[in-house]
Amino acid sequence: MKLTTTLRWSLAAATAVTALCAQAQTSPSSWPAKPIRLVVPFGTGGTADTLGRLVAARLPEALGQTVVADNRAGAGGLIGSDLVAKSPPDGYTLVVSGVASHVLAPTLAAKPPFDPVRDVTHIALFGGPPSLFAVHPSLPTRTLKEFVAFAKARPKQLVFGSPGTGTMGHLFGVLFTKQAGIAIEHVPYKTASIAVTDLVGGHIQTISTTLSTAAPQIRAGRIRPLAISATERVQEYAQVPTFREVGFPELVATIWFALSGPPGLPNDIVQRLNAETQRILALPDIRERLRIDGIVPQPMSAQAFADYVAAELKRWTPVIRASGAAAN
């Protein structure tokens, strides 16, 4: 009996020491003690990858450790995001979260692998490009008002392309056509760039996608932008009005991206990462780089950002249900 009691006390002491060590490893004084992995749940070259790498390149200045971007694409961002949701909450595995991977994809999935509120620690919002509605220059519509009148006179004769079923381009297009009272058929594409190419070629008449994807063709005059979903006009494209300017006050949205981590991430680490991320996004050269794509950083506290994610889920879930979209 004495041996058993002694053994139990030894095990309890060992457990306590292990817990204290784990706590010490994630304390402000010791974190980070090794390189940090930043999972990007999409392929290279997209907005998520660009924003993630911009922040990853500057964090070592403050943290004293390398931040390595790791692209883990698949399932609309669910694969890479789930990997992080199931990682230890030690501050060494983070993810570039976003509306696609942490709002749309989990809602579309019949059995989402993680809960975007309960199973994620949301840290800092990066921002993102607004949605854009544009037409082929051959259409005799130079304003959104003219387009709505044109479409109403031709129910179901026009189509709008998007980056795919269940994407923000698709859902925003559904919201716009519903509020405008027009009937336009949806044509999903595998990528936004393919949809833009088909619009330039005249194979579709309109498109709902991100401003950053269509920006080169706008500058070249190959497509005609009618409205964007930003809160105010974007400096680089000052000729393009916002939806709310032209009579659609509820059509304000951003294809946002952010920094998040596993559930239970220590608050000290969260607050430090939030502060450093906001510092980086406020740097003049970073703001200039993002301005070209119509991206305006949106400073938020970690708690405000977590509340924002919950609000986005509440906003887009009924739109997804009404659209009939489902995960492929």
If you average pLDDT over each of 1-5, 90-94, 170-174, 318-322, which comes out highest?
A: 90-94
User: What residues contact 133, with CB distance under 8 A and at least 6 apart?
Assistant: 144, 160, 173, 176, 206, 207, 208, 225, 226, 227, 228, 243
Cα R_g (the chain), whole angstroms: 23
pLDDT at 306 over 70: yes
| Terminal CA-CA length for the chain | 60
CB burial class (10 A; 0-12, 13-18, 19+) of residue 38? buried
268-293: b (≥16 Cβ within 10 Å) or e: ebbebbbebbbebbeeeebeeebeeb
Domains for the chain: give ranges and CATH numbers.
35-128+256-323 (3.40.190.150), 131-246 (3.40.190.10)
Look at 1 and 257; give whichever has higher pLDDT: 257
Alpha-carbon torsion (244, 246, 248, 249), positive or negative: positive
Note the pLDDT tens digit of each residue in 221-246: 999 999 999 999 998 899 999 999 99
Vertex 35: Cα angle to 76 and 56 (nearest 5): 55
pTM surpassing 0.75? yes
β-bridge mates for residue 39, sequence order: 70, 95
Alpha-carbon torsion (219, 220, 221, 226), positive or negative: negative
Could you tell me what percent of the chain has a pLDDT over 70?
A: 90
Note the pLDDT tens digit of each residue in 22-54: 444 445 568 999 999 999 999 888 889 999 999
